[in-house]
């Protein structure tokens, strides 16, 4: 963070749009301030987004006058119900609102709003770092108003509320999610009393819509340290309410002196490992690979068993997890499209490379893996490598070496056999035509036999060899060619 004196703020606000607002506000004899995230991000040297302006008086009146002054190229939208207006001009988006005082009822996020002073307006905001205002009127242009010492909190890297945190969170419980999101995005600590209020008010999150909650969770997931966000959610007790399946992964059970690992903390470690590997390269699926990391073991609590010989087992947890993915996506209001399918596929397949690496790395096993993972094979391998969190260095090295072998074989087989986007070299139509068959079970049997023969390396992935194989197989099945 940087310390900014008034002259520096004047320079940073030296944009035509601010000068126009300044002159319009002076003409109307109203005070205008740039507030909120825009001011915070000036101090934190983050890229600025939309501009929020608070007017002591009517925000709509200033927006209308500004639009008139800017003339063609400016576009005004007025939301009378909310007392706000937006001006779009040359790629800038400025939102105007009158300074207000708000009071809330217990069962709703909708406040009763009255006109107020600038300080009333700052007081009703969520965090001290979001409650800064800079005056735009000419005589005081660049003057900072920071009654809740947000600058100090930025200096100390703290998230704190301007009012008693119980009031701030109870007024608008979405702020509890925002609190953890900002702490995660900015790598700030949450001030102790504010943190305690998160725990005390956590039940209030239930009045917030899932769409808003998932918005914040996606921002946490896209940040540089999403695991820290999940850890904070766990520590304050919000996780239990918003994501019980993840909460259920926490804990260690011991029987006859045998304990299993804590799957919650393991998961966060895997998520962090994935994020680390994405520093070098990231594809379009990067956010969904993070979700796959978060959910890869989600089936474990439901598949946990005690076996007197084997100890704790989690048989088929990948398949149980695969089934849970669509249910979780639907409830969480995550997209139910190919992104969900991608996460589901990775969760379902995440044990395969480990099983292969644990035994002998055969061509046939690698070909089958490639066939099932298709274009997502590299992401799957990335997830599986991130999944190795063993503290036993020797064991860890053995897995990593075997994974390298799997990767080498993948490249080699892909070049030879083009399995990744496998299309059977003999189609169902060709089989039906050659043996004069209607669509029937035998056609399916022959197709599967060809696929298996190719994946097992019995025949190459080529039309003529495949056709010859089909003819011989058909003969054995008692079918004759035309």
Catalog residues that contact ligand CTP under the rule CB under 6 A.
Answer: 36-37, 49, 52, 125-126, 130, 172, 174-175, 178
Choice between 15 and 276, CB closer to ligand CTP? 15
- Give the nearest distance from C-beta 456 to ligand CTP in angstroms: 53
Closest approach of Cβ 267 to ligand CTP, in Å? 26
- Spatial neighbors of 211 by CB under 8 A, at least 6 apart, are 333
User: b vs e for 427-440, b when ≥16 Cβ sit within 10 Å of the residue's Cβ?
Assistant: eeeebbebbebeee
Smallest distance from the beta carbon of 142 to ligand CTP, in angstroms?
19
Q: Decide if 425 contacts 466 (C-beta within 8 A).
A: yes
Instruction: Judge contact between 94 and 75, C-beta under 8 A.
Output: no
User: Residue written as tokens 């063609």?
Assistant: 72
Whether residue 338 contacts residue 332, with contact meaning beta carbons closer than 8 Å, is answered with: no
The least distance separating ligand CTP from the CB of residue 39, rounded to whole angstroms, comes to: 8
Pairing, β 311-313 against β 305-307: antiparallel
Q: Which residue is nearest to ligand CTP (CB)?
A: 37
Using alpha carbons, select from 55, 44, 47, 50 the residue that is nearest to residue 21.
55
State how far the alpha carbon of 116 is from the alpha carbons of 83, 89, 162, in Å.
Answer: 13, 28, 17
Q: How far apart are CB 424 and ligand CTP at their closest, in Å?
A: 50
Task: Please say which residue, 152 or 306, places its beta carbon nearer to ligand CTP.
Answer: 152
Query: Would you say 49 or 416 has its CB closer to ligand CTP?
Result: 49
Total residues belonging to the chain? 482
- Smaller CB separation from ligand CTP, 123 or 409: 123
Distance CA 469, CA 477 (A): 12
Least separation in angstroms between residue 358's CB and ligand CTP is 44
Nearer to ligand CTP, 185 or 402 (CB): 185
Distances (CA, A) of 314 to 100, 156, 296, 310: 56, 44, 13, 11
Of residues 215 and 414, the one with the C-beta less far from ligand CTP: 215
Q: What's the min distance (Å) between Cβ of 133 and ligand CTP?
A: 10
Do the Cβ atoms of 22 and 137 come closer than 8 Å? Answer: yes
- In the complex, the smallest distance separating the C-beta of residue 75 from ligand CTP, rounded to whole angstroms, is 20
Pairing outcome for strands 111-115 and 133-135:
unpaired
Which CB, 134 or 446, lies closer to ligand CTP? 134
C-beta of 174 vs 413, nearer to ligand CTP: 174
């Amino acid at each position: 963070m940087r310390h900014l004196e008034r002259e520096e703020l004047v320079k940073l606000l030296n944009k035509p749009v601010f000068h126009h607002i300044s002159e319009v506000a002076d003409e109307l004899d109203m005070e205008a301030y740039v507030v909120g995230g825009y001011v915070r991000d000036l101090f934190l040297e983050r890229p600025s987004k939309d501009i929020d302006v608070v007017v002591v008086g009517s925000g709509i009146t200033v927006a209308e006058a500004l639009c008139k002054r800017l003339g063609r190229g400016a576009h005004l939208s007025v939301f009378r119900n909310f007392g706000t207006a937006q001006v779009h001009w040359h790629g800038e988006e400025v939102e105007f609102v009158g300074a207000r005082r708000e009071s809330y009822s217990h069962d709703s996020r909708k406040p009763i709003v009255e006109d107020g002073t600038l300080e009333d307006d700052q007081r009703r905001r969520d965090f001290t770092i979001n409650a800064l205002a800079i005056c735009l009127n000419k005589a005081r242009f660049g003057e900072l108003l920071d009654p809740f010492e947000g600058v100090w909190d930025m200096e100390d890297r703290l998230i704190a509320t301007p009012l008693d945190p119980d009031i701030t969170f109870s007024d608008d419980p979405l702020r509890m999610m925002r609190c953890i999101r900002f702490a995660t995005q900015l790598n700030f600590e949450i001030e102790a009393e504010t943190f305690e209020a998160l725990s005390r008010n956590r039940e209030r999150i239930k009045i917030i819509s899932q769409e808003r909650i998932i918005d914040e969770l996606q921002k946490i997931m896209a940040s540089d340290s999403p695991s820290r966000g999940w850890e904070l959610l766990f520590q304050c007790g919000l996780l239990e309410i918003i994501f019980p399946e993840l909460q259920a992964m926490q804990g260690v059970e011991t029987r006859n002196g045998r304990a299993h690992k804590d799957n919650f903390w393991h998961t966060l470690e895997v998520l962090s490992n994935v994020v680390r590997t994405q520093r070098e390269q990231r594809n379009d699926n990067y956010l969904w690979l993070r979700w796959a990391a978060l959910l890869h073991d989600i089936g474990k609590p439901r598949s946990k068993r005690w076996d007197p010989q084997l100890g704790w087992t989690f048989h088929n947890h990948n398949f149980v997890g695969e089934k849970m993915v669509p249910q979780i996506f639907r409830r969480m209001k995550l997209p139910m499209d190919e992104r969900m399918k991608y996460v589901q596929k990775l969760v379902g397949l995440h044990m395969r490379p480990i099983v292969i690496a644990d035994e002998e790395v055969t061509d046939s096993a690698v070909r089958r893996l490639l066939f099932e993972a298709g274009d997502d094979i590299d992401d799957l391998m990335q997830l599986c490598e991130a999944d190795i969190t063993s503290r036993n260095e020797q064991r860890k090295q053995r897995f990593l070496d075997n994974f390298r072998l799997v990767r080498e074989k993948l490249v080699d087989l892909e070049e030879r056999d083009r399995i990744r986007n496998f299309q059977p070299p003999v189609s169902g139509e060709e089989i039906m035509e050659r043996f004069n068959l209607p669509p029937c079970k035998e056609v399916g049997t022959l197709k599967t036999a060809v696929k298996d023969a190719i994946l097992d390396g019995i025949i190459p992935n080529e039309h003529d060899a495949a056709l010859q194989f089909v003819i011989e197989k058909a003969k054995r099945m008692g079918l004759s060619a035309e």
